[in-house]
Each structure stands twice: as C-alpha cells, then as structure tokens.
Amino acid sequence: MSSDDDGAWCPIPGRQYDRVVLGHGGGGLLSDELLRDVFLRAFRGDTLAKLEDSAVLPRLAGRLAFTTDAFVVHPLFFPGGDIGRLAVAGTVNDLAVAGAKPLYLSAAFILEEGLLLTDLERIVESMRSTAQEAGVELVAGDTKVVERGKADGAFVVTTGIGVVPEGRTLSVSAAEEGNAVLVSGTLGDHGVAVLARREGLEFETTLESDCAPLASLVDALLERAPSTRALRDPTRGGLASSLVEIAAASRVSIAIDEAQLPLRPEVRAACELFGLDVLHIANEGKLVAIVPESEADAALAAMHAHPLGRNAARIGKVAAERAGQVTLRTSIGAVRVVTQLSGEQLPRIC
C-alpha cells in the first residue's frame, strides 16, 4: 500500500517508504520519522513525549512488581489478537497475577526489514488500545531494525512496573492443603487459534485467541476472595506448567478433574485431531487461582460476574500427600500424573 492513497489511516504526506527499511533503526531522520509518525501518534502520554533517554516516573507508594517478557508469535495477526495486544496483555498479566496494579510499560521492537508500515501501525494501535483497557501507560521504548530474514516480521519485548497494594501476599509457594483450584475460563483457546493459522496446518475455525489483560479480573477476584493464596496465568506450557510450578514451590500436590475442565468444543476437537494435550496449550487471557475453600464460591461468583471470567470453573483441590505432583482424575475415573511439557508439543503420527 502506498502512502498517498490511504488518507484515513496514514495521513502523513510524502512518506518515503511503505515498508520498514534498515534506516528506520539507524537513529537518524528516518528513525525520528518512525517515532513521530507511528509511535508518538499512538502513545500520547507526557512521559514518552518528552523523549528523554529515560522515563522519570513519579514516586510510587508500596512494593514494586517488575517483570519483562519477549513476544515472538507467528503469525503476527491471529483471530482474537496480534503480537501488540499479546505484548501488552502478557506483561500486564504477569504483574496482575503477582497481585500488583500494573502502571507503566516499556516496549522494545525488533523489526525485520520489509515489514509493512501499515502492519506496524496496526500492531502499535493494538498496543495502545490494550494498554488503555488495562489502565497502563507506555513510558519508554526503543526500535531496532534487522536485515530481511533475520527476524520474523516483528519481535516485541515489554517490561512492566506495578505496585502491590498493602496486604496482598500472593505467592506461587503459598498453596495449602484443602485450597480450591479455579480457572477463569476455557482452556487452550489461544494456542489452538494460533495453531489454526500456522502454515501447513490451517484449519477452518471461528475460534479466537483469549488474549486479554487480566488486571481488572484479578481486582474483582481479590475483592471477593482476599485470602487467595496464589494466582498464575497459564501461558506457554499451559495449565500443566502452572500447576506443576505451584505444587513444587508450595510442596503440596494438586488433584484436578478432567471432567471439570472448561473447554470449547473446537479446542477439544483440535486436540483430538492433532493428538495434543490441552493441559499443555497456551492461554493468554486466563488465570488459575488457588483459593481457600471458605472463599472459593465467592471467588467463582466474582469471576462469573466479570466479562473475562464467565466460564470460570472449579477444577480441583490442593492436597498434602504426593508433594510436588499434579494428578488428573481421567474421564473414566482413574488417576494419572500431569507433567510439564518436555520441549515442544509434537503432533503424533497417527
């Protein structure tokens, strides 16, 4: 697409390139143009607009939560989201499940020469709207460009800072015997939606990624269930990884029930077809909550009342014996162990 025929989306006159070129990362005039045309147009906050070498933030009260994450998804745009939304939601969610109120983000872009500037604008616009949804401000950023073939369109790294309110002590090592295990909704939606768009495995589905910032869901949950012990967002490695990490760190076991796992029929069907285990598939807008039994119903009700938690479900409980293990009661009533994914999920031959 040329810049001239795209008045509504790209009104800057005389833009020289419609694709990212190496010069956009060179630190000179082209870099400046990219910064002003693309990034500053989306992110109008005062801190970023000052263009200092560092964002200087106001004094923050309380313990700080600080996290970073790199995003390399392929394809860049998928049903229900894109790398921009993912990059904001992912870091916001890492802060939120630590009990923090997410406040500030930085974003670093590694762009591949040849990326369409309109695609970059879509990514940045998606980051802007997701940041707004999550109530965070993007205050610092950087862009580098690498030669064609040395990256996959765009890589985005986001770093986030949040403040943990007084009295919140969520920890992966705080699960206790008798706690209830809850998930905030259907599992595997993101992983299967992205899989469905991968070259070589495209299949028709209306399934969308669940990619979303969870800070407001966490607030709603913790308001009704303030004694919640641990939260995790089961992203890469899926629910299995989150539960194994909690069981190991808390020196407890976790028993879940296959029949209680909330699953969309399309996700189940894709798992059957490709021989995948939904417990290992990534989610980008779900959390798993370890809640004392006395607050479990309140926690579920709080999630059900939130748009991102409508399909929340109780899936199991925490026990003392077999410390470190996660077990699953299978659909026929037997018990098997749940382990972390080793490497990558590889589809079976038949």
Partner 1 sequence: MKYVDEYRSEKTARGLAAAIRSELRAPWVIMEVCGGQTHSIVRYGVDELLPPGVELVHGPGCPVCVTPLETIDRAHAIARRPEVTFCSYGDMLRVPGSRGDLLSAKAAGADVRVVYSPLDALELATRLPERQVVFFAIGFETTAPANAAAIEEAQRRGVENFSALVSHVLVPPAISAILEAADNRVQAFLGPGHVCTVMGTLEYEAIAARFAVPIVVTGFEPVDLLEGLLMTVRMLQAGRNGVEIQYRRAVQREGNPRARELCARVFELCDRKWRGIGQLPQSGLTLAREYRDFDAAHRFEVAHIETQEPADCIAGRVLRGLAKPTDCAAFGKRCTPQSPLGATMVSSEGACAAYYEHRLLPLTQTRSEAEVLR
| Structure token pair of residue 205 | 């589905």
- With CB under 8 A as the contact rule, the residue among 146, 159, 274, 311 that binds partner 1 is 274
Query: Three-state DSSP class for 193?
Result: helix
87 class by beta-carbon count within 10 Å (0-12 exposed, 13-18 middle, 19+ buried): buried
Indicate the residue among 49 and 337 with the shorter CB distance to partner 1: 337
Smallest separation, CB 335 to partner 1 (Å): 6
Indicate the residue among 68 and 330 with the shorter CB distance to partner 1: 330
Smallest separation, CB 205 to partner 1 (Å): 15
Using CA atoms, how far apart are residues 350 and 341, in angstroms rounded to an integer? 20
333-to-61, 109, 318 alpha-carbon distances in Å: 50, 48, 18
CA dihedral 69, 71, 77, 79 (to 10 degrees): -60
* Among 65-73, 156-164, 205-213, 335-343, the segment contacting partner 1 (CB under 8 A): 335-343
Binding of partner 1 by 36 (CB under 8 A): no
Find the binding residues for partner 1 in span 227-246 (CB under 8 A): none
Indicate the residue among 59 and 348 with the shorter CB distance to partner 1: 348
Smallest separation, CB 332 to partner 1 (Å): 4
Using CA atoms, how far apart are residues 343 and 188, in angstroms rounded to an integer? 18
Q: Any idea what the Cα angle at residue 141 is, between residues 136 and 142, rounded to 5°?
A: 160
Smallest separation, CB 286 to partner 1 (Å): 21
Residues 194-213, one symbol each (x = binds partner 1 by CB under 8 A, - = not), give ------xx------------
Residues 47-86, one symbol each (x = binds partner 1 by CB under 8 A, - = not), give ----------------------------------------
Binding of partner 1 by 333 (CB under 8 A): yes
Q: Could you give the residue ranges of the DSSP H alpha helices within the chain?
A: 29-34, 40-42, 46-49, 83-96, 117-134, 189-195, 215-224, 238-250, 265-274, 293-304
Question: From the CB of residue 69, how many other CB atoms can be counted at a distance below 10 Å?
Answer: 17
Using CA atoms, how far apart are residues 212 and 96, in angstroms rounded to an integer? 12
Indicate the residue among 1 and 346 with the shorter CB distance to partner 1: 346
- With CB under 8 A as the contact rule, the residue among 32, 177, 272, 293 that binds partner 1 is 272
* Among 40-48, 132-140, 294-302, 318-326, the segment contacting partner 1 (CB under 8 A): 318-326
Site residues, partner 1 (CB under 8 A): 200-201, 248, 251, 265, 268-269, 272, 274-275, 321-325, 327, 330-337, 339, 342-343, 346-350
